[in-house]
Amino acid sequence: MLNLGVLASGRGSNFQSIIDSIEAGRLKASVKLLITDKSDAYAAERAKKHSIEHLYINPKDFTNKDVFYEKIAGELSARGVELVVLAGFMRVVRKPLIERFPNRIMNIHPALLPSFPGLHGQQQAADYGVRISGCTVHFVDEGMDTGPVIVQAAVPVSPEDTEDTLSKRILKLEHKIFPEAIRLFAEGRLSVEGRIVKIRGYCVDEDACLLNPPL
């Protein structure tokens, strides 16, 4: 059973998808702690509903960002967390947390990285006029959405798409591939070699497997 720690800033829909996968028996994991950096984050209500411990840690209570992340790292370590999941956590993670959990922090981004990192990836894709966009689960490093890619899933983009319409389609895939990436980690099927994440047991020679993992 994999012990998870989740960081969130807002509504926590990806957090809910992880909870749902655990409760359905598809993911052998347990969420030991949710940490939010906003007092009104709806993710906290989801934690309460499912009897998951929640902490609100206000970054303004700390002298600098490194001390803030040292506090987070300490709380996660104290509960035996093995993998940290960023479920809509709207901050760039810093060294104290990354060094405590090397290649053990996952994030999901609503674009096909390395294209369109940072905020509003869906709007960036629509404005650029791409024909395919999607979402990416990646390990976290000190950059902005620059860590090694784990899994990706793609959606078509219409010239009529707005940030809102594209976001809705991408979000459906986020809810599938984030629990899937965590499952792969829990099963010991991921290894990182430089920038490459190798996935034991995944097909690589069929078109259907190139962008979308078998869910």
Q: 94: how many CB neighbours lie within 10 A of its CB?
A: 18
The C-alpha atoms of residue 76 and residue 35 are separated, in whole angstroms, by 9
Determine whether 120 is an active site residue. Answer: no
**Nearest Cα to 152, choosing from 135, 132, 166?**
135
Element (H, E) at 195: none
The C-alpha atoms of residue 191 and residue 49 are separated, in whole angstroms, by 34
CB burial of residue 183 (10 Å; 0-12, 13-18, 19+): middle
**E strands along 27-104, which residues?**
29-36, 54-56, 83-86
Q: 163: how many CB neighbours lie within 10 A of its CB?
A: 16
| 8-state DSSP, 25 | T
Contacts of 151 (CB under 8 A, 6+ apart): 136, 137, 177, 180, 181, 184, 199, 213
Q: Which of 50, 109, 138, 175 is catalytic?
A: 109
**Catalytic residue positions, numbered:** 109
